[in-house]
Amino acid sequence: MKIAIVQFNPIVGDMAGNARRIVEIAEEASARGADLAIFPELCIVGYSHHDLLDNDYVISSIEIAIKWIHERVPSGMALVVGTVRRNPSRLGKKLFNSAAFLQADRPAQYVDKMLLPTYDLYDEYRYFEPAKSQTPITFKGLKLGIHICEDMWNLEKYASYLLYERNPLSELIEKGAQLLINLSASPFSHGRHRLRTELIQDICAQHHLPFVMSNQVGANTEMIFDGDSRVHAANGDLICLAPSFEETVLYWDTFDHRPCPVPTHDRIQDLFDALVCGIREYDKKSGVFNHLLIGLSGGIDSAVTAALAVEAVGPLRVSGITMPSEYSSEGSVSDSQLLAQNLGISFHTIPIQPAVASFKDMLAPLFVGTTDGLAEENIQARTRGLALMAVSNKFGHLVLTTGNKSEMAMGYATLYGDMAGGLGVLSDVFKIDVYLLAEYINHRAGRPVIPISTIQKPPSAELRPDQLDQDSLPPYPILDEILRLYIEERLDFHAICDQLGHSEAFVRDILSAVDRNEFKRKQAAPGLRVSKKAFGTGRRMPIVMKYDRESLELLKLELSVEANA
Amino acid sequence: MKIAIVQFNPIVGDMAGNARRIVEIAEEASARGADLAIFPELCIVGYSHHDLLDNDYVISSIEIAIKWIHERVPSGMALVVGTVRRNPSRLGKKLFNSAAFLQADRPAQYVDKMLLPTYDLYDEYRYFEPAKSQTPITFKGLKLGIHICEDMWNLEKYASYLLYERNPLSELIEKGAQLLINLSASPFSHGRHRLRTELIQDICAQHHLPFVMSNQVGANTEMIFDGDSRVHAANGDLICLAPSFEETVLYWDTFDHRPCPVPTHDRIQDLFDALVCGIREYDKKSGVFNHLLIGLSGGIDSAVTAALAVEAVGPLRVSGITMPSEYSSEGSVSDSQLLAQNLGISFHTIPIQPAVASFKDMLAPLFVGTTDGLAEENIQARTRGLALMAVSNKFGHLVLTTGNKSEMAMGYATLYGDMAGGLGVLSDVFKIDVYLLAEYINHRAGRPVIPISTIQKPPSAELRPDQLDQDSLPPYPILDEILRLYIEERLDFHAICDQLGHSEAFVRDILSAVDRNEFKRKQAAPGLRVSKKAFGTGRRMPIVMKYDRESLELLKLELSVEANA
């Protein structure tokens, strides 16, 4: 049997457009002799659909799209398409997350998802009822063990505890499945590719069956999908693998068991590719921007953002603006100009001093007797934000924000200032990785596209004389590791001190700064997710709270004194 | 038995502080002769804790707080306290949402929640494993049917379909429960009070048992809790009721069956009280602001916001600033001034023309040859936002944003301009209700606190000459009803047209505007929730999407043509 594994890039909510493209791809696969074409999880509505599924018209539209596709299944062929199915029972959630099995002139068959991820970015219990069972579907003599995404992620080795009581794969295999087929909408994060390979090889070792995965590709707002669709032989060997971050169709004949090379993955190269994909897709799917616009400070964050933007949409659709103030160093303009020249993007300079001075004059009656401080620093940052947004509004540009994960964590950014924009490119990238990205970009180009002086200068917000990040923040290599353990590994100060050997007060102050700045991140632009725990939809923290570790330690102390009394 | 029903106002994340206050209240209840004190759901960590529960140190702290409280339970008394409990199984989520039953010198007993709401603002499946069963706890000869919030919300009458397969109350009663005790963290929304009364009366009619509910009160960021804690007799009569929006303790002797009056609720009065509570609690629990600051435009939204702020924190802690531009009407300053005088708040005028002119000069080289439009309008709005934020930064003020739900829905607001601020007071209040609030405020004061001219003038953003809202938006009475059906009732254009009789194109354009402006709402300040579906945590929509109703109708047409062919 010849199988087309479709690594598909849907537009969220575009049920009609996605359906038309599914049929086009199916027809092409049929022309190339495929018996079966497999499309990813929820590919008619696109992942993540969020609360679109609370809307009955959306559900009806998905049903219509499935019928419309069903009418067009090429003769002799079957399609497996990720969709929703209404729960016929009055008990439970209204929908199932389903795979429709469609053949011409036969009724549609459905397999519903059993394991519903409800953590991090995933809210599947919000919409779906978990299926009670799954049954293989027989096609051309082969029993297909169709299942959906999380249904395969239930091996003890891959979780600190088992999230689910049941193992859908074992149930399918008990019912005679001969080929395992997984429809996924599984996003990219660091190391995800290797984890998928290990997991599927473990499944193959346990069940001795070949395994096919069709994954969504592209990006939708903050979620980036690398694709990584593949076929493993019954012995676990990788035999087909789709290129990452590209819509593509893999063709596999079930008689073919020849292994293909397992590519190695470089973390920074993956990061680069993922961010480029995220920018490109945001731009393309929004469909309303003619240009990407970046405020260039001469620093490394805006330089790396600009280089990524150029890779995503080409230099002719990227502009940089530098907005020097009285505190800007000589290099902030010259390095920005050099960067723009290296990248081949258009470049403008808007000195902001006149507007800053106007604000100071306007506010002088209220500010009389006060000394310059945070308010004045923020006026500069916000004047820049305002100027960028004015250019954006005037010409239909998308402003990219440049704040990295270290800054966003610590609130070392100005709301409505440098945080103004539509998409946060680096907000899930720690500062030390921004440096590695810069090196990678220059290495890849074979020349210092990002000026060496930009890489070598000490980081500064340049909002007051001689200001350096290191006056307000610990050195980034130390800070980033603490932040990573807190945000991504979800450890708290005791465990972090144990691992890294810092003092409790030092770590506690950093974690408190992270907590305290949730109000800023609430109003941040959506940011591209590349780690296993990014700020945004996947990390939901209270804004008004009093998470006071010192008072908790005191309570603990009182309790232990009592215990010893 | 004498029972203290504690309508408790926790601070989210303040496990130590909440524990200390729980013990203080228990001691007071003991002094007043109570045998049993009942505290609300999750009252040690506070609702909504969000992803604090992903942090093991937080879990340990909650456990320590429970032990600390347990050590301090007054002799002869029992406390029921909403908390979390670790799931001892390696299968399933790590935690239960639990009620701890605490007596001095006896081990703690736990009842775990069975029904976990996972919709709207609620993410309980994200954290909790549903309990398989519940058993009554016997205390002083009485079998207490303790259960948690959603566990009681499973009657067919109250949902279009049954969300859950099991009915915890029936199971408790089968096991001999003689008194039903519900621990809640059930937020306010319009009509919620009446719904609770009806539900509990239906439960009493079915089971002939008295019913006690202890609910959280206060507000945490966007969620407002009215409390509404109560006791119903076995025949359904209301016998004790806590005042709304206030921390309080109800004392009830189980021999007392005398009915109390059922208060009537006025929708606009409730709305007023809820918003005042939301502002007061945000201010108090943040604990970092010395003043509330509002940009006064002379219009009704900012006037109502200012009046609510004064009610919340008193006139001495509220300031208004009016920021006229060349397009501001005479009334924008004079009406603002009159309002400030009526409210007794401090008032400043900052004309923004100098900064606006600076921006125009700064941008002139880039904008050469273009005509004035949205970019120039937004420069004005953002100049105001910048000035307000400068004052906020300088003096430690909290800026309240004033955009109403109609504007927020349509994107009729400027990001980083009038949307700049820490808390959206009216973002869940449609424009027609803002008018009703204004009338209520004046009626309540017995004088026109909000100037009549502010109420009577046609709404305008005053960003260009003679601009009126009605140039860009349909009349509010028509718009608001369409928006309500779309956002709160989750109907789409066919159903809305059927109900209201508008043309499909007219409704479709409005709904598309709502969809298209999700990117603005993503970056809005958190807003106080008063309806059953507010923008914010409870409504999660994709930002980049293409939800195109016309293309869907075309697909539907093609399908029906085929069906008829």
Q: Dump pLDDT digits (tens) for B226-258.
A: 999 999 999 999 999 999 999 999 999 999 999
Nearest partner of B389 among B427, B363, B419, B424, judged by Cα: B419
- Checking if the pLDDT of B329 tops 70, the result is yes
What is the spatial distance between Cα A129 and Cα A133, in angstroms, rounded to a whole number? 12
Q: Which of A552, A560, A562 to mutate to test binding with chain B, by most B CBs within 10 Å of its CB?
A: A552
**Do B129 and B198 belong to one domain?**
yes
What is the spatial distance between Cα B526 and Cα B529, in angstroms, rounded to a whole number? 9
- Phi and psi torsions of B248, nearest 5°: -160, 165
In terms of DSSP H, where are the helices of A98-257? 168-174, 192-207
pLDDT number for residue B469: 86
The answer as to whether B261 is a domain residue is no
**Do A279 and A222 belong to one domain?**
no
Q: Flag whether residue A94 sits within 8 Å of chain B, measured between CB atoms.
A: yes
3-state secondary structure of B292: strand
Which H or E element spans position A347? strand A346-349
Nearest partner of B386 among A434, A236, A375, judged by Cα: A375
CA distance A153 to chain B (A): 14
Chosen domain end from B223, B256, B289: B256
In terms of DSSP H, where are the helices of B145-191? 168-174
What is the spatial distance between Cα B71 and Cα B76, in angstroms, rounded to a whole number? 13
pLDDT number for residue B464: 86
CA separation, residue A266 to residues A191, A194, A217 (Å): 9, 11, 19
CA separation, residue A360 to residues A303, A326, A385, B386 (Å): 30, 14, 17, 11
What is the spatial distance between Cα B221 and Cα B214, in angstroms, rounded to a whole number? 21
Residue B293 carries which side chain, given as an amino acid letter? L
Overall domain count for chain A = 2
pLDDT (tens digit, 9 = 90+) per residue, B205-231?
Answer: 999 999 999 999 999 999 999 999 999
What is the spatial distance between Cα B197 and Cα B191, in angstroms, rounded to a whole number? 10
Tell me which residues of chain A, numbers 101 to 140, contact chain B at a CB-CB cutoff of 8 Å: 118-119, 123, 125-126
Q: Among residues B113, B405, B431, B520, which one is catalytic?
A: B113
Per the annotation, the verdict on A149 as an active-site residue is: yes
Distance of CA A327 to the CA centre of its chain: 35
Q: Do B542 and A48 touch (CB under 8 A)?
A: yes
pLDDT number for residue A159: 65
- Identify the residue whose tokens are 């600076």: B358
What is the spatial distance between Cα A563 and Cα B564, in angstroms, rounded to a whole number? 80
Name the closest residue on chain B to residue A373, using Cα atoms.
Answer: B394
CA distance A263 to chain B (A): 32
CB B101 within 8 A of CB B109: yes
Q: Looking at residue A538, which CATH number applies to its domain?
A: 3.40.50.620
**Do B116 and B35 belong to one domain?**
yes
Secondary structure tally for chain B: helices H, strands E: 18, 19
CA distance B315 to chain A (A): 19
What is the spatial distance between Cα B34 and Cα B1, in angstroms, rounded to a whole number? 8
pLDDT (tens digit, 9 = 90+) per residue, B401-460?
Answer: 999 999 999 999 999 999 999 999 999 999 999 999 999 999 999 999 999 999 999 888
CB B124 within 8 A of CB B118: yes
Cβ-Cβ contacts under 8 Å between A and B: the total is 327
pLDDT (tens digit, 9 = 90+) per residue, B288-312?
Answer: 999 999 999 999 999 999 999 999 9
What is the spatial distance between Cα B384 and Cα A23, in angstroms, rounded to a whole number? 52
In chain B, residues with a C-beta closer than 8 Å to the C-beta of A487 are: none
Chosen domain end from A258, A288, A323: A258
Q: Do B68 and A558 touch (CB under 8 A)?
A: yes
What is the spatial distance between Cα B223 and Cα B559, in angstroms, rounded to a whole number? 44
pLDDT number for residue B502: 95
The answer as to whether A263 is a domain residue is no
**Do B303 and B433 belong to one domain?**
yes
DSSP state of A487: I
**Do B392 and B334 belong to one domain?**
yes
CB A252 within 8 A of CB A239: yes
What is the spatial distance between Cα A64 and Cα A47, in angstroms, rounded to a whole number? 18
Nearest partner of A469 among A417, A411, A400, A387, judged by Cα: A411
CA separation, residue A119 to residues A93, A227, B114 (Å): 18, 21, 19
**Do B322 and B198 belong to one domain?**
no
What is the spatial distance between Cα A221 and Cα B551, in angstroms, rounded to a whole number? 22
The answer as to whether A562 is a domain residue is no
What is the spatial distance between Cα A221 and Cα A219, in angstroms, rounded to a whole number? 6
pLDDT (tens digit, 9 = 90+) per residue, B501-550?
Answer: 999 999 999 999 999 999 999 999 999 999 999 999 999 999 999 999 99
Confidence of residue B331 (pLDDT cuts 50, 70, 90): confident
Range of the domain at B325: 271-469+525-535
The beta strand positions in B129-178, using DSSP E, are 137-139, 142-148
**Do B284 and B402 belong to one domain?**
yes
- Strand A109-112's sheet: what is its strand order? A109-112, A95-103, A78-86, A36-38, A2-7, A248-253
Calculate Rg over the CA atoms of chain A. Answer: 26
pLDDT number for residue A167: 85
Tell me which residues of chain A, numbers 21 to 50, contact chain B at a CB-CB cutoff of 8 Å: 46, 48-50
Q: Among residues B124, B129, B149, B431, which one is catalytic?
A: B149
The answer as to whether B46 is a domain residue is yes
Mean pLDDT, consecutive 10-residue segments, chain A of 565 residues? 98 98 98 98 97 96 97 97 95 95 97 95 96 96 97 78 79 97 96 94 96 98 97 97 98 96 94 98 95 97 98 98 91 94 98 96 96 95 98 98 98 97 98 98 98 93 85 93 97 95 95 97 98 96 94 92 81
Tell me the residue length of chain A: 565
What is the spatial distance between Cα B552 and Cα A68, in angstroms, rounded to a whole number? 11
CA separation, residue A440 to residues A203, A273, A450, A455, A480 (Å): 35, 11, 10, 12, 19
CA separation, residue A520 to residues A407, A415, A426, A524, B525 (Å): 11, 6, 16, 6, 9
What average pLDDT does range B21-43 have in this prediction?
98
In chain A, residues with a C-beta closer than 8 Å to the C-beta of B394 are: 363, 366-367, 370, 373, 375
Of B49, B541, B546, the CB nearest to A11: B546
Tell me which residues of chain B, numbers 145 to 204, contact chain A at a CB-CB cutoff of 8 Å: 161-165
Nearest partner of A128 among A168, A189, A83, A161, judged by Cα: A83
Distance of CA B340 to the CA centre of its chain: 27
The answer as to whether A560 is a domain residue is no
Q: Flag whether residue B519 sits within 8 Å of chain A, measured between CB atoms.
A: yes
Here the tokens at position A392 are: 């954006």
> Cβ–Cβ contacts within 10 Å for residue B202, how many?
14
- Strand B346-349's sheet: what is its strand order? B346-349, B318-322, B291-295, B397-401, B423-424
**Do A91 and A211 belong to one domain?**
yes
- Identify the residue whose tokens are 């088992």: A162
- Please confirm whether the linkage preceding B48 is cis (ω < 30° from 0): yes
Percent of chain B with pLDDT over 90: 91
**Do B106 and B241 belong to one domain?**
yes
Nearest partner of A153 among A116, A194, A193, judged by Cα: A116
Per the annotation, the verdict on B113 as an active-site residue is: yes
> Cβ–Cβ contacts within 10 Å for residue A230, how many?
25
CA count, 13 A, side-chain hemisphere, B80: 36
B395 burial type by CB count under 10 A (0-12 exposed, 13-18 middle, 19+ buried):
middle
Cβ neighbours of residue A313 closer than 8 Å, sequence gap 6 or more = A279, A280, A283, A292
Q: Flag whether residue B311 sits within 8 Å of chain A, measured between CB atoms.
A: no
Q: Flag whether residue B562 sits within 8 Å of chain A, measured between CB atoms.
A: yes
Q: Do A15 and B555 touch (CB under 8 A)?
A: yes
Q: Do B542 and A12 touch (CB under 8 A)?
A: yes
Name the closest residue on chain B to residue A279, using Cα atoms.
Answer: B544
CA distance B213 to chain A (A): 25
- ipTM of the shown complex: 0.96
- Phi and psi torsions of A217, nearest 5°: -130, 165
Q: Among residues A43, A124, A129, A149, which one is catalytic?
A: A149
3-state secondary structure of B384: helix
Name the closest residue on chain A to residue B372, using Cα atoms.
Answer: A394
CA distance B52 to chain A (A): 7
Confidence of residue B160 (pLDDT cuts 50, 70, 90): low
The answer as to whether B127 is a domain residue is yes
Of B281, B378, B546, the CB nearest to A389: B378
Nearest partner of B148 among B226, B96, B91, B217, judged by Cα: B96
**Do B210 and B339 belong to one domain?**
no
Name the closest residue on chain B to residue A62, using Cα atoms.
Answer: B552
Nearest partner of B183 among B40, B319, B317, judged by Cα: B40
Strand A423-424 to A397-401 pairing: parallel
CA count, 13 A, side-chain hemisphere, B254: 20
3-state secondary structure of B38: strand
**Do B145 and B236 belong to one domain?**
yes
Q: Flag whether residue A366 sits within 8 Å of chain B, measured between CB atoms.
A: yes
CB B205 within 8 A of CB B178: no
Q: Among residues A43, A113, A405, A533, which one is catalytic?
A: A113
**Do B306 and B374 belong to one domain?**
yes
CB B319 within 8 A of CB B346: yes
Q: Flag whether residue A362 sits within 8 Å of chain B, measured between CB atoms.
A: yes
Tell me which residues of chain A, numbers 220 to 239, contact chain B at a CB-CB cutoff of 8 Å: 220-221
Q: Looking at residue A92, which CATH number applies to its domain?
A: 3.60.110.10
Q: Do B552 and A61 touch (CB under 8 A)?
A: yes
What is the spatial distance between Cα A219 and Cα A386, in angstroms, rounded to a whole number? 28
Nearest partner of B430 among B363, B470, B481, B471, judged by Cα: B481
Name the closest residue on chain A to residue B381, using Cα atoms.
Answer: A386
B503 burial type by CB count under 10 A (0-12 exposed, 13-18 middle, 19+ buried):
exposed
pLDDT (tens digit, 9 = 90+) per residue, B334-369?
Answer: 999 999 999 999 999 999 999 999 999 999 999 999
CB B29 within 8 A of CB B235: no
The answer as to whether B443 is a domain residue is yes
The answer as to whether B557 is a domain residue is no
DSSP state of B218: E
CA separation, residue A81 to residues A75, A505, B325 (Å): 16, 54, 56
Per the annotation, the verdict on B132 as an active-site residue is: no
pLDDT number for residue B166: 77
B347 has which bridge partners?
A: B320
Chosen domain end from B256, B283, B301: B256
Q: Do B362 and A375 touch (CB under 8 A)?
A: no
